[in-house]
Chain A
Amino acid sequence: MEDDAPVIYGLEFQARALTAQTAETDAIRFLVGTQSLKFDNQIHIIDFDDENNIINKNVLLHHAGEIWHISASPADKGVLTTCYNKTSESRVLTCAAVWRMPLEWESGSHESPDDSSNSPQTLELLCHLDNTAHGNTACVLWEPMGDGKRVISLADSHVVLWDLQESSTKATISSSATLEGKGQLKFTSGKWSPHHNCTQLATANDTAIRGWDLRSMSQIFCIENAHGQLVRDLDFNPNKQYYLASCGDDCKVKFWDVRHINEPVKTLEEHSHWVWSVKYNHSHDQLLLTASSDSRVILSNMVSISSEPFGHLVDDDDLSDNEETHHEEKSKEPLQDSIISTYEEHEDSVYAVEWSSADPWLFASLSYDGRLVINRVPRALKYRILL
């Protein structure tokens, strides 16, 4: 079975920020934020036409500064947050804000891409998530599957929970917590757990991973020295509430059961440089993407620690005879933990990788030189998982 070739899209600027448009479940759409100190920064809206293998792009201007992190609202297609660098009086500060995309951007998309870049529209600022006392904002997290009213920002050593009011035009701090400890502690990244009624948060600072209870804003677990070096990213297993994947500068990807934090459940060491991003597939949690500054993206199949360790479980009642034989065949040779494929389309460090919110078999990766690559899970594997 031949797999479709990857689709490559080049941005003019360097870029680190990538997100899927979370609220969009029909179209395959990714948002990319650029990093440029000299020009107006942009948000590229990348639409992927699955049938024709064509990319349509729209550009929105982001005047505020270079974008370090981008995150789309899970409820409103048009709303997103960015973390951006603001330079003023020879000081660089990373701020965060909630933005609304102009309604008309979609109408202009059918014109030729070259024209649209000439007259790009501008993002509409809804509100700032600022508190200068908190310092530089590393990332902003939306409440998973929420109504788009609550976000968390991680700024230096502070966890700040915001309530967005009046159609997100006003943000108020509902609670916050501060990381106590020696030295200058800084969050590098975090993840809002979709489990436990969205009351938990995991953060990474230096080599430690911490869990927080958002109701009490207190720490619930702490994995010291989770990685030999800095922890770069983490992700919750969408189907197994205690399972967590993390990656870092020791080139490793580790899987944790937060109930037993002394040892990782499993460790992968496939990259030859720092791993910057780790992402579980939203529907099939055995599929895992990692992006690294060795310019590679690796898709792994971690069957043994997934929620479907013995393949897709189907109730016997639903099975016709035909399917039953299928089922038996599969159980005879269950999939092993393995690297499915290594994607080498990038030529610079890959800092971000994202699954599409619309198509669970499709993902995008973004390297520093502005190259966005859209890839698919190999068909053979897809059918093995599905059937």
Chain B
Amino acid sequence: MEVDSGSSSPGRKRRLLRLYYSSGPEPPPQQQEPEPCDINGAHFDPEIYLNKLRKECSLAELMDQESCMVKQIRSLDSDMQTLVYENYNKFISATDTIRKMKNDFKKMEDEMDCLSTNMSAITEFSARISGTLQDQHTQITKLSGVHTLLRKLQFLFELPARLNKCLELQAYAQAVSSHRRARCVLQQYSHMPSFRGIQDDCHAIMERLAHQLRQKFRDGGTSAKELSECVELLLQLEEPAEELCDKFLSHAQTRLEEDLRSLEAELKDSTVTNVSGDSARNPSSPSETLMSIHLISPASRADILEFIDRGCNEFVSNLCLVIASYQELFINRPQEGNLAFKNIPQMANSKLHLFVDSLASKYFSLVERRIQEEKGVGDNSLLVRALDRFHRRLQAVSKLLPGSAVPSQGTEIVIQAARERIKQYLSALQSFYLESLTDIRQALAAPRLSVGGTNTAGGGVHTGACTPGKEAPPSLPELLSSLSNSILNQIKSVLASVHLFTTKDITFSNKPYFRGEFCSHGVREGLVVSFIKFICQSSRNFCESAGDRGGSTPPVLLLLLSRLCLDYETSTISYILTLTDEQFLVMHQSPVTAVTALCEEAREAAQKLLNHYVKVQGLIISQMLRKSVETRDWVNTIEPRNVRAVMKRVVEDTTSIDVQVGLLYEEGVRKAHSSDSSKRTFSVYSSSRQQIRYAPSYTPSAPMDTNLLSNIHKLFSERIDIFSPVEFNKVSVLTGIIKISLKTFLECVRLRTFGRYGLQQIQVDCHYLQMYLWRFVSDENLVHFLLDEIVGSAAHRCLDPSPMEQSVIEVICERG
């Protein structure tokens, strides 16, 4: 039993200890089923344990259990004894300590008693002293109160004088602050007559002060800083803010308008200088100096950069200053309680916007006028820099005044200027082109007139590339290459100038307009494409105007231009456009003119020019032939001895045209052309045909003749188109010209009546033409056919058709 209680008490202690030390949650006791059989457990029940043992264990085990248990009990017993011995000394010393403490406390209690009596004595003394001092203290407090009041009163009484003094000294700020301090008091005690007097005085003074301030405000001379001071004071004086805003702005306006006026005067001055030219530039001209006395000296006519600089430095910076001080005064001012003025910032802001907008628009109109005066296309960089500066300075305004439309309007102006510029460049290019053409005309005309003409021609083409020799007139290919080179150079230089608009360091170059529309729509379409179109258009115009008014354009020019257009079609256009696209990194957002379309147009123009060339040259030769047929009396002509001079002329002209065209165009292909087709075989062939043709006309069976004629027609199943488009080669061009000439010859012959010798003359002439013309054409049969037709028609129109012997014809022709 002793063992049991001993074993149970340490378990409880442990639990208590655990309870004390660990604030953590204890495992809930219900979890453990009370185990009566656990000998160390809290719920150990010896009876149950014994019964259990008895039930479960054999005798031997029981014996073992018992002996084991006895052993354990003994060891526990000895442990207990050792513990008791060990702790005994500690109990003893604890008892001693407690006893000693008891003594010490007793002493301390005495001392505490003594202290409390002393304290009560002190309290008593203190109460007595304060009782005696009470009266004096209240008196002092009263006195000091009176003192401050008196000082305030003194301040008030002195206030009018002080204010007057401040006014005299113009120390307005002090006056206002003084008055502000007194104002409330005066207001409060205004029912007392003396105070009323002061207040009235003050009012009068302040009135005067305000008046003076306003005067100063109205006065133009004050600087911006003083002005702002004024405004601040007036605001403190509870002047109506709106009125102040208006006044402030109107004052600023007069000053800014003065800036603008001076700018405008400069603008006028520059136009005057423009008009009066050199005399205005002369600094010695006194009237000019007088006129622009406060402007920059008239000697140096302000360029646009200077103008913009002036505008920026004077107007824009002043404007910024005004905006800044205005905002300082009216908008960003810390609100001082006064609820009535809560809407000041909005009101002030809207006023400011109106003000800035109206002034800026005036400024912009001036700038626009100035920009419009920039007509010369020589140096673009100046304009670009000026625009850049203009744009850059406006950014300051946009920073100061975030919602303002001014910067966007400024950008608009820049864009407008850029557009205008492109137009100017286009017209410059166009006039350059036309000038070049005039030069070429001169160069073409010059060799015939004088050799000296080449000089002007060479100088006229600006590149100077074509001054080959002073004596030799420039040949066609040289003229062509110099023309196309100078045009190309001009385009390149214009592109370079325009490119300045998009340089990285220009502020506006990153605006969306300059990245997209300017490149694609402005430069590519508006400048390059338009120029190419202009070339084509003006070329086409040559064809139309010259047709009616009879060869105002030299045919050689037509030929030259046709080659130029063809060159453009094959290479130049795509080169120029690629160049443009590369330089400007054109993003094709909007549809642009395709290279192929332009090439198409150029080719069309080239074709038209060449057709027209053929037509003009053909008509020149036709005219000769027609005159020669129409003016002669073919009935009464003499027997032919010679080839008529006009035929020789025709052959000569054709040869020179051949040379001319050969300079610019390739040879081209001939149809079934055998180089050794000698004159003889050809003559026999044609003469035999002629014999057959003539034969029926002697016989009375007329119907056969027409049949034969139509049969011959059928040999050429292909219908001959006289004025038909030609190909871009020499043979085709010459074929066209010869076709036109011979067809004219034919039609003229059909309108005449011939005598015997008239027919023979035609025979001789046609044979002569046959001898020389076949070599120029693509299909010699064409010449044969047309000449046969001519001779045939002449035979029909002959009163006495007796043809000449072929051999005689040949002799005459070979002779000359």
Co-assembled chains A and B? yes
List residues of chain A with CB under 8 Å of any chain B CB.
10-14, 36-39, 85, 87, 90-92, 225, 227-229, 250-251, 272-274, 293-295, 344, 347-349, 368-370
Q: Does A295 contact B719, Cβ atoms closer than 8 Å?
A: yes
- Which one, A10, A37, A369, contacts B799 given CB within 8 A? A37
Q: Does A294 contact B722, Cβ atoms closer than 8 Å?
A: yes
State whether A348 and B713 are in contact (beta carbons under 8 Å apart), knowing that A37-B796, A228-B547, A228-B550 are contacts in the complex. yes
Binary CB contact string for chain B from 555 to 579 against chain A (1 if under 8 A, 0 otherwise): 0000000000000000000000000
Q: Does A273 contact B550, Cβ atoms closer than 8 Å?
A: no
Query: Assuming A37-B799, A87-B753, A228-B619, what are 9 further A-B pairs, CB within 8 angstroms?
Result: A37-B753, A87-B635, A91-B635, A92-B753, A225-B548, A228-B550, A251-B723, A272-B722, A349-B747
Stretch from B137-145, B211-219, B461-469, B703-711 at the A interface:
B703-711
Which residues of chain B are near A228, meaning CB under 8 Å? 547-548, 550, 619
Residue ID in chain B nearest A251 by CB atoms: B723
Which residues of chain A are near B702, meaning CB under 8 Å? 12-13, 36, 39
Q: Does A85 contact B719, Cβ atoms closer than 8 Å?
A: no
How many CB-defined contacts (below 8 Å) exist between A and B? 68
Which residues of chain A are near B635, meaning CB under 8 Å? 87, 90-92
Q: Does A274 contact B747, Cβ atoms closer than 8 Å?
A: yes
Q: Does A347 contact B547, Cβ atoms closer than 8 Å?
A: no
State whether A14 and B796 are in contact (beta carbons under 8 Å apart), knowing that A37-B753, A39-B702, A347-B713 are contacts in the complex. yes
Give B270 Cβ to nearest chain A Cβ, in Å. Answer: 44
- The answer to whether B351 has its CB under 8 Å from any CB of chain A is no
Binary CB contact string for chain B from 606 to 646 against chain A (1 if under 8 A, 0 otherwise): 00000000000001000000000000000110000000000
Residue ID in chain A nearest B752 by CB atoms: A92
Within 8 A of A (CB), among B737-757: 743, 747, 750, 753, 755
Q: Classify the secondary structure of A's interface with B.
A: loop
- Tell me the bound Cα distance from A190 to B719 in angstroms: 31
Which residues of chain B are near A85, meaning CB under 8 Å? 753
- Which one, A36, A90, A368, contacts B755 given CB within 8 A? A90
- The answer to whether B385 has its CB under 8 Å from any CB of chain A is no
List, sorted by A's number, 18 A–B pairs whose CB atoms are closer than 8 Å.
Answer: A10-B706, A11-B706, A12-B702, A12-B706, A37-B753, A37-B797, A90-B755, A225-B550, A228-B548, A229-B619, A272-B721, A272-B722, A272-B724, A293-B722, A293-B743, A293-B747, A348-B713, A368-B750
Which residues of chain A are near B798, meaning CB under 8 Å? 37
Q: What are the 7 closest A-B residue pairs judged by CB atoms, nearest first?
A: A273-B722, A272-B721, A347-B713, A272-B723, A92-B753, A12-B703, A12-B702
Which residues of chain B are near A92, meaning CB under 8 Å? 635, 753
Instruction: Report which residue of B702, B709, B713 has the largest number of chain A beta carbons within 10 angstroms of its beta carbon.
Output: B702
- Which one, A38, A274, A294, A347, contacts B710 given CB within 8 A? A347
Which residues of chain B are near A344, meaning CB under 8 Å? 719
Which residues of chain A are near B709, meaning CB under 8 Å? 348, 369
Which residues of chain B are near A368, meaning CB under 8 Å? 750
Q: Range of interface residues on chain B?
A: 20 to 34
- Tell me the bound Cα distance from A91 to B530 in angstroms: 62
Residue ID in chain B nearest A271 by CB atoms: B723
- The answer to whether B106 has its CB under 8 Å from any CB of chain A is no
- The answer to whether B549 has its CB under 8 Å from any CB of chain A is yes
- Tell me the bound Cα distance from A28 to B770 in angstroms: 46
Residue ID in chain A nearest B797 by CB atoms: A37
State whether A90 and B636 are in contact (beta carbons under 8 Å apart), knowing that A37-B798, A370-B706 are contacts in the complex. yes
Binary CB contact string for chain B from 526 to 557 against chain A (1 if under 8 A, 0 otherwise): 00000000000000000000011110000000
Give B644 Cβ to nearest chain A Cβ, in Å. Answer: 20
Give B797 Cβ to nearest chain A Cβ, in Å. Answer: 7
Which residues of chain A are near B710, meaning CB under 8 Å? 347, 369
Residue ID in chain A nearest B550 by CB atoms: A228
Which residues of chain B are near A370, meaning CB under 8 Å? 706
- Which one, B700, B723, B750, contacts A273 given CB within 8 A? B723
Residue ID in chain B nearest A229 by CB atoms: B619
Which residues of chain A are near B619, meaning CB under 8 Å? 228-229
Which residues of chain A are near B713, meaning CB under 8 Å? 347-348
- Tell me the bound Cα distance from A273 to B618 in angstroms: 12
- Tell me the bound Cα distance from A13 to B796 in angstroms: 10
Within 8 A of A (CB), among B750-784: 750, 753, 755
- Tell me the bound Cα distance from A178 to B547 in angstroms: 30
Residue ID in chain A nearest B796 by CB atoms: A14
Give A377 Cβ to nearest chain B Cβ, in Å. Answer: 24
Which residues of chain B are near A90, meaning CB under 8 Å? 635-636, 755
Which residues of chain B are near A349, meaning CB under 8 Å? 747, 750
Give B707 Cβ to nearest chain A Cβ, in Å. Answer: 9
Which residues of chain A are near B703, meaning CB under 8 Å? 12
- Tell me the bound Cα distance from A250 to B713 in angstroms: 25
Give B337 Cβ to nearest chain A Cβ, in Å. Answer: 78
Q: Does B724 contact A369, Cβ atoms closer than 8 Å?
A: no
Residue ID in chain A nearest B719 by CB atoms: A295
Q: Does A225 contact B549, Cβ atoms closer than 8 Å?
A: yes
Within 8 A of A (CB), among B782-816: 796-799
Residue ID in chain B nearest A91 by CB atoms: B635
Within 8 A of A (CB), among B654-711: 697, 700, 702-703, 706, 709-710
- Tell me the bound Cα distance from A21 to B798 in angstroms: 31
- Tell me the bound Cα distance from A289 to B471 in angstroms: 57
- Tell me the bound Cα distance from A10 to B710 in angstroms: 11
Which residues of chain B are near A273, meaning CB under 8 Å? 722-723, 743
Give A150 Cβ to nearest chain B Cβ, in Å. Answer: 29
- Tell me the bound Cα distance from A349 to B709 in angstroms: 13
Give A350 Cβ to nearest chain B Cβ, in Å. Answer: 12
Which residues of chain B are near A227, meaning CB under 8 Å? 548
Residue ID in chain B nearest A273 by CB atoms: B722
Give B755 Cβ to nearest chain A Cβ, in Å. Answer: 7
Give A42 Cβ to nearest chain B Cβ, in Å. Answer: 11
Give A270 Cβ to nearest chain B Cβ, in Å. Answer: 11
- Tell me the bound Cα distance from A370 to B755 in angstroms: 23
Give A232 Cβ to nearest chain B Cβ, in Å. Answer: 10
Residue ID in chain A nearest B754 by CB atoms: A37
Give A84 Cβ to nearest chain B Cβ, in Å. Answer: 12
Residue ID in chain B nearest A66 by CB atoms: B753
- Tell me the bound Cα distance from A274 to B748 in angstroms: 12
- Tell me the bound Cα distance from A276 to B721 in angstroms: 16
Q: Does B547 contact A250, Cβ atoms closer than 8 Å?
A: yes
Residue ID in chain A nearest B750 by CB atoms: A368
Give B693 Cβ to nearest chain A Cβ, in Å. Answer: 14
Which residues of chain B are near A347, meaning CB under 8 Å? 710, 713
Residue ID in chain B nearest A13 by CB atoms: B702
- Tell me the bound Cα distance from A273 to B548 in angstroms: 16
- Tell me the bound Cα distance from A295 to B747 in angstroms: 12
Give A304 Cβ to nearest chain B Cβ, in Å. Answer: 20
Residue ID in chain A nearest B722 by CB atoms: A273
Within 8 A of A (CB), among B425-472: none
- Tell me the bound Cα distance from A87 to B633 in angstroms: 13
Which residues of chain B are near A11, meaning CB under 8 Å? 706
- Tell me the bound Cα distance from A103 to B710 in angstroms: 36
Which residues of chain B are near A293, meaning CB under 8 Å? 722, 743, 747
Residue ID in chain A nearest B740 by CB atoms: A273
Binary CB contact string for chain B from 341 to 377 against chain A (1 if under 8 A, 0 otherwise): 0000000000000000000000000000000000000
- Tell me the bound Cα distance from A228 to B723 in angstroms: 14
Give B484 Cβ to nearest chain A Cβ, in Å. Answer: 30
Instruction: Report which residue of B548, B719, B721, B743 has the largest number of chain A beta carbons within 10 angstroms of its beta carbon.
Output: B548
Give B237 Cβ to nearest chain A Cβ, in Å. Answer: 80
Which residues of chain B are near A348, meaning CB under 8 Å? 709, 713
Which residues of chain A are near B722, meaning CB under 8 Å? 272-273, 293-294
Which residues of chain A are near B697, meaning CB under 8 Å? 38
- Tell me the bound Cα distance from A370 to B706 in angstroms: 8
- Tell me the bound Cα distance from A349 to B549 in angstroms: 27
Residue ID in chain A nearest B743 by CB atoms: A273
- Tell me the bound Cα distance from A228 to B616 in angstroms: 11
Residue ID in chain B nearest A14 by CB atoms: B796
- Which one, B547, B549, B796, B799, contacts A87 given CB within 8 A? B799
Give B738 Cβ to nearest chain A Cβ, in Å. Answer: 14
Residue ID in chain B nearest A184 by CB atoms: B631
